[in-house]
Amino acid sequence: MPRSAFSFVKATAQLGCLAVIGAALYSCTTRPVERGQATLPGLQGPPVVKVALSRHFPAPAAGAAIAIDGEYRVVSSKSGALLHHGTKLGDATLAANPKGGLALGGREFGERDLRILPAFDGTLKVGDRYYRGTLRAFLSDEGKLLLVNEVPMESYIAGVLGAEMPLDYPRAALEAQAVAARTYALFEIRQAEIDGRAELFHVYDDTRSQVYSGTLRETEKARAVIAATRGVALLSGGRLFCAYFHSTCGGSTEPAHLFFDVPQMSPLSGRPCEYCQGGKWRRWEVSIAKTDLCQRLGVKDVSKLKVAEKAPGIHALRIEAGGRSWNGLEFRLLAGADRLPSTAFEVEDRGANYVFRGTGYGHGVGMCQVGCKGMAELGYEATELLKFYYPGAEVLRVY
């Protein structure tokens, strides 16, 4: 995404994507998800996604625990030269040695940039998680060890799907999520190339990008959803866009350009949504002490807190307090996205506290996940869900 005044908002844009609502119907989609094909410049097949493993980016000074259930090779990223071939790696520490090179299990390689290539996909373990693809270990000039999982796009999406949407959601909702996640990731790769960080990494594995948990939630159902949507993405006027999504809009999604630094466009223009009404976040109430709010917002005065301006839907666009003003999304992130479920709220002054009464969960931009569940339960298919939440978008196979 382009640099913006709301970069800190953008950084946690996906907060609230983890929907937590219970069981749903499992319906089978027989018609294909996409309705045609498109060619994107520079994209012949599934790209490799470079995922910064946030718990190891940078890794703690003691290094990272690595294990590989089978054969593996260690190669120099620079020359491609084989540095070591092993048959199995028990819990070993990958660390920077005092002379400035990398070491694995006490074996020093005298290199600052390595790739660990397991012979069998999914046998790589970093910390307590298994990953598909390979691992790049990079020692920065500042002496920080950075770990990046390099994984083909479809395996990446398999690691995102169950982390961003409960896998007991109906099949059509999961297919829509897979397509949105793939679009978001393809857009982020493009952005990383523009920003000049693509040589090292494209995305984070947390809410700064999309939550990615390796093979942790890769079930048979998840794999079937990925296979059914392989290579399918959303385009607007033939171009990728930042396919935002969130848990529950509460009744209306909002135009993305009011909250994020993206151009105004039809698929992200916002729309009423009547399909998330029965969800867990239909109504909520949160009380926050004024002293706590002052601290979180970094101000001394939060008197006369009010929603000064609303977006076209139901979310706060501008919030005022103590003579200061915040964008709604910025306010929520500063106040604590874990405390304030959304910005679709009314506020009441109760002396020492403010009571926020609201609806929905998440930023309210793009696809409403609980709404997708509601639509899927009514028999709508993935393409219909995507065209509902991203009006005017094309659902096409891009590789």
The neighbouring-strand residues paired with 51 are 149, 203
46 binds Zn ion (CB under 5 A): no
Given 13, 235, 368, 393, the residue binding Zn ion (CB under 5 A)? 368
Q: Does residue 243 contact residue 260 with C-beta atoms inside 8 Å?
A: no
Identify the residue whose tokens are 């000074």.
61
19 binds Zn ion (CB under 5 A): no
371 binds Zn ion (CB under 5 A): yes
For 382: left if phi > 0, alpha if psi spans -120 to 50, otherwise beta; the answer is: alpha
* Phi then psi dihedrals of residue 355, to 5 deg: -105, 125
Identify the residue whose tokens are 């993405």.
233
- Residue 271 CB, nearest distance to Zn ion (Å)? 9
Site size toward Zn ion, by CB under 5 A: 5
276 binds Zn ion (CB under 5 A): yes
Which of the stretches 39-47, 144-152, 224-232, 276-284 binds Zn ion when contact is defined by CB under 5 A?
Answer: 276-284
Considering the complex, state which of residue 74 and residue 276 has its C-beta at the smaller distance from Zn ion.
276
Q: How many CB atoms lie within 10 A of CB 289?
A: 12
Q: Is 79 exposed, middle or buried (0-12, 13-18, 19+ CB in 10 A)?
A: exposed
249 binds Zn ion (CB under 5 A): yes
Binding mask 20-39 for Zn ion (x = CB under 5 A): --------------------
Asked if the peptide bond before residue 47 counts as cis, ω within 30 degrees of 0, the response is no
- Residue 248 CB, nearest distance to Zn ion (Å)? 6
DSSP for 324-372?
A: EEEEHHHHHHHH-TTTS--S-EEEEEETTEEEEEE--BS--BSEEHHHH
Binding mask 139-178 for Zn ion (x = CB under 5 A): ----------------------------------------
- Residue 255 CB, nearest distance to Zn ion (Å)? 15
Which of the stretches 26-34, 169-177, 265-273, 307-315 binds Zn ion when contact is defined by CB under 5 A?
Answer: 265-273
- Residue 371 CB, nearest distance to Zn ion (Å)? 3
Which of the stretches 60-68, 71-79, 245-253, 317-325 binds Zn ion when contact is defined by CB under 5 A?
Answer: 245-253
- Residue 243 CB, nearest distance to Zn ion (Å)? 16
Considering the complex, state which of residue 273 and residue 314 has its C-beta at the smaller distance from Zn ion.
273
* Phi then psi dihedrals of residue 13, to 5 deg: -55, -30
Which of the stretches 104-112, 114-122, 163-171, 268-276 binds Zn ion when contact is defined by CB under 5 A?
Answer: 268-276
DSSP-derived letter for residue 143 is S
Q: Say how far apart CA 207 and CA 211 lie, in whole Å.
A: 6
The residue ranges that bind Zn ion (CB under 5 A) are 249, 273, 276, 368, 371
